[in-house]
């Protein structure tokens, strides 16, 4: 599986954050804590990176990706009770719009950390 070691390392950082903070905080708190853990793990990242979405070659607007790690993995964070199909669809759309092959959808809002590895259908 491509980037398996990297995604496992990112998930490990998220598990540490969830283990310390638990659930119940706003997404931005988890985002800040995850940035600390990613730095401790020596992972290069950009946080809240503006990335432009194009339609038919026309710039629609920039959307922010929660994290772009090691120039390879997009990470979308949530702090909700339960991940739903719409969140997975959003993450997949971002991958395809940004031409990124692999991403992670991580939810800190449930009692146990939830995460999904997401693949772009265009790059399969």
pLDDT tens per residue across span 65-111? 899 999 999 999 999 999 999 999 889 988 888 888 999 999 999 99
Task: Spell out the CATH class of 4-119.
Answer: alpha beta
Can you tell me the mean pLDDT for 42-68? 87
* Contact between residue 43 and residue 70 where contact means Cβ atoms under 8 Å apart: yes
Single out the residue of 115, 99, 102, 30 nearest to residue 70, CA to CA: 102
Q: Which residues pair with 68 in a beta bridge?
A: 46, 74
Within 13 Å of residue 16, how many CA atoms lie on the same side as its CB?
A: 16
| CA-closest candidate to residue 121, choices 85, 87, 88 | 88
């Amino acid at each position: 599986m491509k980037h398996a070691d990297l995604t496992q390392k990112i998930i490990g950082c998220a598990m540490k954050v969830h283990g310390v903070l638990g659930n119940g905080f706003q997404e931005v708190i988890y985002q800040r804590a995850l940035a600390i853990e990613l730095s401790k793990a020596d992972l290069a990242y950009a946080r809240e990176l503006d990335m432009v979405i194009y339609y038919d070659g026309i710039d629609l607007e920039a959307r922010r990706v929660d994290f772009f790690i090691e120039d390879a993995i997009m990470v979308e964070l949530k702090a909700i009770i339960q991940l739903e199909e719409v969140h997975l669809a959003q993450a997949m759309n971002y991958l395809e719009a940004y031409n990124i092959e692999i991403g992670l959808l991580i939810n800190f809002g449930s009692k146990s950390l939830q995460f999904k590895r997401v693949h772009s259908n265009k790059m399969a």
